Amino acid sequence: MKERAAAAARWLARTAAVILLVLVGTTALVRFAPGYFSDAREMDARYAAIARAELSAEAAGSRTLGQILGAEIGELLRGSSGVSRQFDVPVWELVEPRLAVSGALLLRGIALAWALAVCASLLSSAGRNPSLLWHVPAAILLAVPAAALATLCLLLNSGGPVLVMALLLAARDFKFLHRALRTAWLDPHILHARAQGIRTRDLLRAHLLPALAPQLSALASLSIVTALSALVPIEVIFNVPGLGELAWNAAINRDLPVLLAVTMIMAVAVTCAGMGSHRSATWRDA
């Protein structure tokens, strides 16, 4: 019990440290980025005066990095996410509807990627010779950046964000799954079992999957991290109203409160994925 509590405390401390780093890094990058105290409306005759008045008020209240961080952390501790500079609405109002959109995209992308990767790996590793049919497309997809693949889909007028996300992840997952399955498939006890006529599905359930569980768990965490990193270009290019697009617009418009919220969500998601992987490995070892 004590060990579990200690482990949970360690994880919490690690997560808090990551979030603090994210807060400091994001605040420093955005607050001191060129153009923080500027507004495109300054160039528009109709809105220049009001834009300048707003900027002056904000600049008058400008503080040091430490003060800004203190204020942001204070807001978080009070359960508030702050107010968007760009839209002048509470950040949570912007983030909440987008969580579901990005979450759905991630879940569908990861599910499809795993389905494709598992099918391809089983077909490829179970055959006598690894087939170029599977490896060549995987190698190509590994070399293509997410933005390039998304743009290609757009230009060809086919596919969508889920497909792009799935293909990118499937290529990475396939690379590891194929290697793991190939090795496991050729283990002497599996070969013996196969020679005795044990059905493939029983082999998978009773031998292969339990043996591969820690690796699959680690791969699942990696999938989540990879998917999160691909979220911004995919959502921006396909105009998906999710967190990635919000982060992009916030960066373009120097919207610090929104960027902080999004990067913190991403940081928590990554640490949770890491914890999930760690827990499954721990359970198996136990």
Partner 1 sequence: MSMRVSRLTLLAFAALLLPMARTAAAQAASRLPGELVWTIGYDPKTFDPAKVDDQESETVRYLTAGVLLRFNRLTQQVEPELAQNWTVSPDGRTLRFTLRPGLEFSDGSSLSARDVVWSLRRVLLPATQAPVADEFLTPARVSVEAVNDRTVVVHLPQRVIGIGKVFDEIAIEPAGRPSEGRVTSGPFFVNDYLRSQYVRLRRNPHFFRKDATGRALPYASGIRLDILENTEQEIRLFLRGDYDLIDSLPPDYFALLAKRSPGSARDLGPSLNTEQMWFNQSPASPLPGWEKAWFRSHAFRVAVSQAIHRDDLARIAYDGHATPAYSFTSPANTVWYDRALTAPHTDVAAAQAALAAAGFRRQGSVLLGPDGHPVRFSILTNTGNAARSKMATLIQQDLAALGMQVTVVTLDFPALIDRLMNTQNYEACLLGLENVDPDPNAMMNLWLSSSPNHQWDPSEKTPATPWEAEIDRLMHLQASTGSDAIRRKAVNRVQQIVANEQPFIYLVYPNLLVAASPRLEGVRPAVLEPHLTWNADSLQLRGAQ
Closer residue to partner 1 in complex, CB, 11/248: 248
With residue 251 as reference, give the H or E element that holds it.
helix 243-252
- How many whole angstroms separate alpha carbon 254 and alpha carbon 84? 10
Q: Give the range of 122-130, 205-213, 257-265, 278-286 binding partner 1 by CB under 8 A.
A: 122-130
Q: Applying CB under 8 A, does 195 fall inside the site for partner 1?
A: no
Q: Which of 6, 8, 136, 252 binds partner 1 (CB under 8 A)?
A: 252
Rank residues 97 and 130 by Cβ distance to partner 1 and give the closer one: 97
Among 25, 66, 70, 97, binds partner 1 (CB under 8 A): 97
Choosing from 67, 183, 239, 282, the residue that interacts with partner 1 (CB under 8 A) is: 239
Stretch of residues binding partner 1 (CB under 8 A), selected from 73-81, 123-131, 171-179, 185-193:
123-131
Q: Hey, is 155 helix, strand or coil?
A: helix
Instruction: Rule CB under 8 A: choose which of 11, 18, 36, 99 binds partner 1.
Output: 36
Please identify which residue in 90, 159, 214, 276 interacts with partner 1, judged by CB under 8 A: 159
Applying CB under 8 A, the site for partner 1 has a residue count of 62
**How far does CA 213 lie from the centroid of its chain?**
22
Give DSSP secondary structure letters for 3-58: HHHHHHHHHHHHHHHHHHHHHHHHHHHHHTSTTTT--GGGGSTTTHHHHHHHHHHH
By CB under 8 A, is residue 143 in contact with partner 1? no
Residues 217-236 as x/- pattern, contact with partner 1 by CB under 8 A:
-------------------x
Residue with tokens 């044990």: 198
Give the Cα separation of 136 and 34 in Å (integer).
Answer: 44
Q: Is 137 within 8 Å of 131 (Cβ atoms)?
A: no
Q: Which stretch binds partner 1 (CB under 8 A): 14-22, 28-36, 208-216, 277-285?
A: 28-36
Report residue 34 CA to chain centroid gap.
27
Of 115 and 139, which has the nearer Cβ to partner 1? 115
Query: What would the two tokens of residue 46 be?
Result: 């109709």
Compute how many other C-beta atoms are within 10 angstroms of the C-beta atom of residue 64: 9
162 counts as binding partner 1 under rule CB under 8 A? yes
Q: How far is the CB of 41 from partner 1 (least distance, A)?
A: 6
| 191 touches partner 1 (CB under 8 A) | no
| 151 vs 160: CA distance, rounded Å | 10
DSSP string over 67-132: HHHHHHHHHHHTT---B-TTT-SBHHHHHHHHHHHHHHHHHHHHHHHHHHHHHHHHHHHHSSS--H
Q: If binding is defined by CB under 8 A, does position 123 make contact with partner 1? A: yes
- Minimum CB distance to partner 1, residue 240 (Å): 5
Which CB sits closer to partner 1, 35 or 74? Answer: 35
Q: Site residues (CB under 8 A) for partner 1?
A: 33-52, 87-88, 93-94, 97-98, 105, 108, 111-112, 115-116, 119, 122-123, 126-127, 151, 154-155, 157, 159-163, 166, 199-201, 236-241, 245-246, 249, 252-254
